[in-house]
Amino acid sequence: MAPGRLRGILVLVLQALLVVAVGLPAGFAIAPAFLGPGRPSAASPATPPWQQMPATPGASGGSGGLGPLSDAAPVPSATALAAQLNATLKTDGGGTFTGIVQDAVTGHVLFDRAADEARVPASNMKLLTASAALRVLGPDHRFSTRVVAGPTPGSVVLTGGGDVLLGAGASDPAAVLGHAGLATLAEATVRALQNGAAGATSGDKSGENSGGKSAGTVSVLLDDSLFSGPSLSQAWSPEDVAAGETAPLYPLALNSARFDPAKTTGPRPQDAAMTAAEAFAARLTTAAAAAGLSVAPGVARVGPGAVAGDAKVLAEVQSATVGEQVDLMLQTSDNYLAEVMGRMAAVGAGRAASSEGAIATVMQQLKDLDIPLDGLHAADVSGLAPANQVSARQLTDVVRAMTSGKDTRLRAALDGFPVAGLTGTLGGRYTDAATAGGAGLVRAKTGTLNTVIALSGYVVDADGRLLVFSFVGNGLTPGAANKAALDRSASALAGCGCR
C-alpha cells in the first residue's frame, strides 16, 4: 500500500477514535470511578467496545461516546504489567526513568519504579496547579476585565482582573482564547460615556451633551495592580524568558501574552498589560469617533489605590470559565497561563497574588487532598523552573484525584488532557507501529525540558479497567529519542489484558 494512502487511513482511524476518547470524561460525570456496564461477554468481538471505532460519530457525552465502566473489570497482574513496561521504559542514552501505574478505583499499585523519588517534573507541574485552581476558584468561575470611572472627569481606567486570554476584537462566546474582546469592551465604554456615566470629559467641563453626544476628550489609564511581587521568577532561566517560554506576569493580556494568537512560539510582549491597554485605547478611539468623542493619545499606568474601590463600573467583559482555561492550559502547556492561574488561585485563597502566594496555595490544596508532600518542592507553578521536585507517585495521586476522587470539581480538568495522536501536545505523537495502539486512547499531560521528559495521565485498558500512570525521565541525553519510550509504555497500558 502506498505510504500516502496508509497515512490517510490512519488519520481517519484516529479521528474516529477521538470520538471514543472524548467520551471518556463523560463517564466521570455519571460515576466518579467509571462505574457502569460490566465486562464484555464471550460473544463480544475481539476488540472491546470501549476501544472500537463508533459506527457513527457523536458528540462527547452523546450516544456516540463511551458510557461508564465497571469496577468489576479485571485488574491487570502486576507481574505481567511489569514485564511489559520494563521492556518499553528504557532510556535512549543517559539518564533514568521512574514510574508508577495504579488502579484508579482502588489505588492499588501495579507498577513501581522508584516512584517516590523526587524528580524534575517539567510541565507535569501544571497538573498540581490545575487541581488548586479548580478547588479554590471552582470550574465555573470567570475573571472580569472592567473599565471604571477614573479619578478625574473624563478619565477611564482599564482594570485587569486576571483574564490574560483577551482578544483584540469582539467577544467570542464560543471561544476560550478571545472569549472576552477589547472591541466589545470599548463599545460598551462609549455607550456609558454617552450617558454621562464618567462625568464631564476634559473638553466639556459643563458635562452637557449636544445631541446625545459629549464633545470632549477621554483619557485612558491602566490599573494592573492586582498582582504583587516580581513579575518574573528568579527560578526561570533568562534564556527561556527571551525565547518566549514565559514573560513578565500581569493580570490582563492579549492572547496569553502573545503578539499573534496564531503563533504560540517565539518572544512575547514584555509588558503584556500595557500592550493590551494600548489595543483597548485604539479600539476606544474608533468607537468614540462615532459618538463625537476623542481619545487622548497614550495610556498612563496608575498604582495601587489610585482608583477608588467604589469607582463606577462603566463596562465589563468576562473570561471563559476557569474549567475551560484549565483545559486550554493543559492542552497547550502554556506556562504564562499556568502562572496566572496560580496567582488567581492565590487571590481566591486570600493570599497575595505573587509567585510565593501561588506556590503556597498549590501546596495547601495538595495537602487538603491528602496527597503526601514528602520531597515535593515547588519553585514555580508552571514547571518551567528546573528546581521543581515532584515524585511520580505524587503526580498519579493528582491524576487519580481528578478521575476518581471525592472532589468532583476536579473532573473539569479531564477534557484538558491531550489525546494521544490527536490533540494538544500529543497531537503529533503515537503515529508509528510501536505506539499506534495508544492513539485515541491514552490521555496524558506532557512535560519537556532540556534533559527532562514526563508523561502523566489515564487510560482504559483492554479489559475495561481505568489506570492512572506517571513516567518521569531525568538526566536524559538532549535530543535523544526518549519520548518514544514513554509513548510505547502508555500504549502498552492501553492494550493490556495483563493477567
Angstrom distances, CA of residue 390 to CA of 94, 132, 136, 165: 20, 16, 21, 29
What's the grid cell of residue 164? 490574560
Same domain membership, residue 152 and residue 66: no
Same domain membership, residue 263 and residue 380: no
Q: Which of 259, 291, 320 is the last residue of a domain?
A: 320
Say how far apart CA 445 and CA 119 lie, in whole Å.
Answer: 16
What's the grid cell of residue 32? 466518579
Q: What is the pLDDT of residue 199?
A: 54
Q: What is the pLDDT of residue 309?
A: 81
Residue 244 falls inside a structural domain: yes
**Structural contact between residues 407 and 368, judged by C-beta atoms closer than 8 angstroms:** no
Residue 169 falls inside a structural domain: yes
Same domain membership, residue 290 and residue 160: yes
Q: What are phi and psi of 215, to 5 degrees?
A: -100, 95
Residue 361 falls inside a structural domain: no
What's the grid cell of residue 150? 477614573
Same domain membership, residue 125 and residue 158: no
Which residues 6+ apart lie within 8 Å of 29 measured at CB? Answer: 61, 411
Nearest to 328 by CA among 168, 178, 438: 178
**Secondary structure class of 315 (helix, strand, coil):** strand
Residue type, position 343, single letter: R
**Secondary structure class of 342 (helix, strand, coil):** helix
**Secondary structure class of 254 (helix, strand, coil):** strand
**Structural contact between residues 246 and 240, judged by C-beta atoms closer than 8 angstroms:** yes
Q: What angle do CA 172, 176, 181 make, to 5 degrees?
A: 40
Nearest to 250 by CA among 139, 346, 159, 172: 159
Same domain membership, residue 448 and residue 433: yes
Number of domains in the chain: 2
Domain that holds residue 249: 144-320
- Continuous H helices in 252-334: 272-289, 322-332
Q: What are phi and psi of 240, to 5 degrees?
A: -65, -40
Which residues 6+ apart lie within 8 Å of 395 measured at CB? Answer: 121, 124, 127, 454, 456, 470, 472
Instruction: Check residue 266 and give left, alpha or beta (phi > 0: left; psi -120 to 50: alpha).
Output: left
What does pTM read for this prediction? 0.87
Say how far apart CA 153 and CA 192 lie, in whole Å.
Answer: 14
Residue 301 falls inside a structural domain: yes
Say how far apart CA 271 and CA 341 lie, in whole Å.
Answer: 18
Same domain membership, residue 120 and residue 217: no
Q: What is the pLDDT of residue 433?
A: 93
Residue 362 falls inside a structural domain: no
Say how far apart CA 341 and CA 333 lie, in whole Å.
Answer: 13
Q: Which of 259, 292, 320 is the last residue of a domain?
A: 320
**Secondary structure class of 491 (helix, strand, coil):** helix
Same domain membership, residue 128 and residue 161: no
Q: What is the pLDDT of residue 195?
A: 85
Q: Which of 281, 299, 320 is the last residue of a domain?
A: 320
Same domain membership, residue 187 and residue 95: no
Say how far apart CA 88 and CA 77 lie, in whole Å.
Answer: 17
Same domain membership, residue 14 and residue 155: no
Same domain membership, residue 430 and residue 310: no
**Structural contact between residues 268 and 250, judged by C-beta atoms closer than 8 angstroms:** no
Angle between the N-to-C axes of helices 355-368 and 335-348, in degrees from 0 to 180, rounded to the nearest 10: 70
Residue 105 falls inside a structural domain: yes
Instruction: Read off the CATH number of the domain in which 16 is found.
Output: 3.40.710.10
Residue 325 falls inside a structural domain: no
**Structural contact between residues 131 and 402, judged by C-beta atoms closer than 8 angstroms:** yes
Taking only the tens of pLDDT, the chain with its 499 residues reads 444 444 444 444 444 444 444 444 434 432 333 433 333 333 344 666 666 544 444 333 333 334 567 778 899 999 999 999 999 999 999 999 999 999 999 999 999 999 999 999 999 999 999 999 999 999 999 999 999 999 999 999 999 999 999 999 999 999 999 999 999 999 999 999 998 765 544 444 443 433 344 457 899 999 999 999 999 999 999 999 999 999 999 999 999 999 999 999 999 999 999 999 999 999 999 999 988 999 999 999 998 888 878 889 999 999 999 999 999 999 999 999 999 999 999 999 999 999 999 999 999 999 999 999 999 999 999 999 999 999 999 999 999 999 999 999 999 999 999 999 999 999 999 999 999 999 999 999 999 999 999 999 999 999 999 999 999 999 999 988 999 999 999 999 999 888 8
Q: What is the pLDDT of residue 479?
A: 87
- Continuous H helices in 89-181: 125-137
**Secondary structure class of 405 (helix, strand, coil):** coil
Residue 88 falls inside a structural domain: yes
Same domain membership, residue 130 and residue 159: no
